[in-house]
Chain A
């Protein structure tokens, strides 16, 4: 856990009091809606189809059990008893009244939670690996760097009114679980030839109307220089990106228009002026922030306790869940447990207040009071002793978050879509719900293996459809909902954009088409462990297209 102090507390109180005043000025008419919009967005407040929506950032996806209870409380008292975890390690409440927003924020502030810079043209919540600090394949805890960047970019006097939103993600593991290549800045911690740890810097990734995979502009940057380099990128972006067209204002367009090399030259030129200034990080500053991450006092345990093996033998459901939801931990005798927020027929990423409270209790009992939120819209208990797995599983199963479908066909990522969002052209959640029903057979799901379906209700791509193994994008045609299907996208270290399968299909046909695609994969794969994306890579979309459009 990261330990907040009186400083953070004072800051948040001051922020809430400022927002309270802004709401008062809006309600009294002193602020126009246009002016208020600018201000509320910087506090995570959107105006959606039916109500205001409040988005709360969860820095690097790390929550304490007390923070989870605070979220449950807000969902229960200010919303309709549930919250929606997003693809950027945030949570959204969709039904809050404007008049009650300051109180809800004040409540969350007491738990050091807030919506600052979770929307608007600002530097958003810095995201990272949901397994940070516990993953065996990481070289160090990337949350320290997410926190270094978070602090520097919070209410930054130069970069609070950028051309467009700006997203930064950091990974420190071989396997990229933070999707850094689809971020405005992606930072990859790695070791150079001299054994020194630093960052590869990527820029210009992003989805939306014009998707791009990020380009590397610097293979190695010393840790000392991370803030000055990020500042140089932001300064180039703030000054030179387009502001005349919403859809051309992201850094990806600037990088594309200038070319990655010319962009990198601008950044390097800017950076030369500031790299040895006050932003150069000295080791004491890094150590101060790192010291505020507290790690559990783990027990000395051995891996693979015999009772776990016998329980797995005795109960096939438990065994299947362990295979699917439990990952290796850095520390012997411990595991990382992922909780599926993708039950059959449920909206992806939703959790009720009761579930949140129960998960907080289970975190206290089994995971040193710590919970993580991942970009796949699932939750994680990051420090579970292997000997506790059976007891934890029974409790998770009882509250409906132990569906062993993680990484499988029914572990769908979806934006809120037309059911909530004023930008959407089409519904996302009902498509996801229907697909989870079609693929309720877990044996089939396991046979299919790793298969990510991503659904966005409009071109803004909040459901990351471009990088779904199967991507589904809602569009509007003559007042009706149609969906474009793409195949072969991925968001990890081998990130790629999916290829269009063919003409868009109507709402009622989407699940049929996905079933056809999946059936085609089962026939076309070379061997049972050739994954869906590997088959697409080998064959392209053509054989899938033939099959789907022959039958429809």
Chain B
């Protein structure tokens, strides 16, 4: 499925390696979590970038020791209703200071793109082709946010305190 990064469609340069397949040489690879943890020493010796697909029912703390050598972490949305990976994403970015590619995979809708980006994802594996063109507009849909989530948006109250969202005159309040 097409990948979007910063609003542009990009080509997936990673080769997806299954659990028991040999590691190809000379190309970036992405491996499932179990394979990664089983062969972590060997896999991290690759000279090309390495990524891991991390399921949404494992603590990302397990990944923490390896994050500085990972180029990509792909988190999984088995259904668009299952929001566990939003927490994983924030933990990776904010607690474990992970700066590599954070990819959202599985069932995601354009209506969730903004949530995903705010949670720290920078690459979206778009499930519905029609959603690609919508990326730019849905990301601009909201100009105001009530909370900060570590992604750089300033919470409403902070803006108010800074005088950037003036109180309306009381008379015009419904």
A and B part of one assembly: yes
Q: Which residues of A contact B (CB under 8 A)?
A: 1, 3-7, 9-11, 14, 17-18, 22, 30, 35, 38-39, 64, 66-67, 70, 110-112, 121, 151-162, 235, 238-239, 243, 273, 277-279, 284-285, 288-289, 292, 294
* Chain A: minimal CB distance from B162 (Å): 10
List the B side residues contacting A157 at CB < 8 Å. Answer: 86, 90, 114-116, 118-119, 149, 151
Chain A CB within 8 A of B38 CB? no
List the B side residues contacting A277 at CB < 8 Å. Answer: 150
Task: Find out whether the CB atom of B95 lies under 8 angstroms from the CB atom of A273.
Answer: yes
- Asked if A14 meets B143 with Cβ closer than 8 Å, knowing A6-B168, A7-B160, A289-B157, the reply is yes
Chain A CB within 8 A of B87 CB? yes
List the A side residues contacting B116 at CB < 8 Å. Answer: 157
* Chain B: minimal CB distance from A285 (Å): 5
- Sort chain B's interface into a size bin: 35 or more
Task: Find out whether the CB atom of A5 lies under 8 angstroms from the CB atom of B167.
Answer: yes
Return the 10 tightest CB-CB contacts between A and B, nearest first.
Answer: A161-B83, A157-B118, A7-B165, A111-B174, A66-B174, A151-B146, A158-B86, A154-B146, A157-B115, A152-B147
Q: Which residues of B contact A (CB under 8 A)?
A: 59, 80-84, 86-88, 90, 95, 109, 111-112, 114-116, 118-119, 130, 141-151, 155-161, 165-168, 170, 173-174
**In the complex, which of the residues A10, A67, A111, A155 contacts B143, with contact meaning CB atoms closer than 8 Å?**
A10
Complex: A452 Cα to B153 Cα, angstroms: 47
Can you name 23 A-B residue pairings with CB atoms under 8 Å? A1-B173, A5-B160, A5-B165, A5-B168, A7-B159, A14-B143, A35-B80, A151-B147, A152-B147, A154-B146, A155-B115, A155-B142, A157-B90, A157-B114, A157-B151, A159-B86, A161-B83, A238-B83, A238-B87, A239-B88, A278-B148, A285-B158, A292-B167
Task: Find out whether the CB atom of B82 lies under 8 angstroms from the CB atom of A161.
Answer: yes
* Chain B: minimal CB distance from A234 (Å): 9
Task: Find out whether the CB atom of A239 lies under 8 angstroms from the CB atom of B173.
Answer: no
Task: Find out whether the CB atom of B174 lies under 8 angstroms from the CB atom of A22.
Answer: no
List the A side residues contacting B147 at CB < 8 Å. Answer: 151-154, 156
* Chain A: minimal CB distance from B112 (Å): 8
**In the complex, which of the residues A3, A35, A38, A155 contacts B170, with contact meaning CB atoms closer than 8 Å?**
A3
Task: Find out whether the CB atom of B159 lies under 8 angstroms from the CB atom of A238.
Answer: no
Task: Look across to chain A and name the residue whose beta carbon is closest to the beta carbon of B90.
Answer: A158
List the B side residues contacting A152 at CB < 8 Å. Answer: 146-147, 155
Task: Look across to chain B and name the residue whose beta carbon is closest to the beta carbon of A153.
Answer: B147
List the B side residues contacting A154 at CB < 8 Å. Answer: 146-147
Task: Find out whether the CB atom of A161 lies under 8 angstroms from the CB atom of B81.
Answer: yes
Besides the contacts A22-B111, A292-B167, what 17 more A-B pairs have beta carbons closer than 8 Å?
A4-B174, A5-B166, A7-B159, A7-B160, A7-B165, A18-B141, A70-B174, A121-B83, A153-B147, A155-B145, A158-B86, A159-B83, A160-B83, A161-B82, A161-B83, A239-B59, A239-B88
* Chain B: minimal CB distance from A88 (Å): 20
Residue from B130, B159, B168 whose CB has the most chain A CB atoms within 10 Å: B168
List the A side residues contacting B118 at CB < 8 Å. Answer: 157
Task: Find out whether the CB atom of A30 lies under 8 angstroms from the CB atom of B81.
Answer: no
Task: Look across to chain A and name the residue whose beta carbon is closest to the beta carbon of B82.
Answer: A243
Task: Find out whether the CB atom of A3 lies under 8 angstroms from the CB atom of B115.
Answer: no
* Chain A: minimal CB distance from B4 (Å): 17
List the B side residues contacting A288 at CB < 8 Å. Answer: 157, 160-161
List the A side residues contacting B157 at CB < 8 Å. Answer: 151, 285, 288-289
Complex: A214 Cα to B148 Cα, angstroms: 29
Task: Find out whether the CB atom of B174 lies under 8 angstroms from the CB atom of A158.
Answer: no
Task: Find out whether the CB atom of B165 lies under 8 angstroms from the CB atom of A238.
Answer: no
Task: Find out whether the CB atom of A4 lies under 8 angstroms from the CB atom of B86.
Answer: no
Complex: A111 Cα to B112 Cα, angstroms: 27
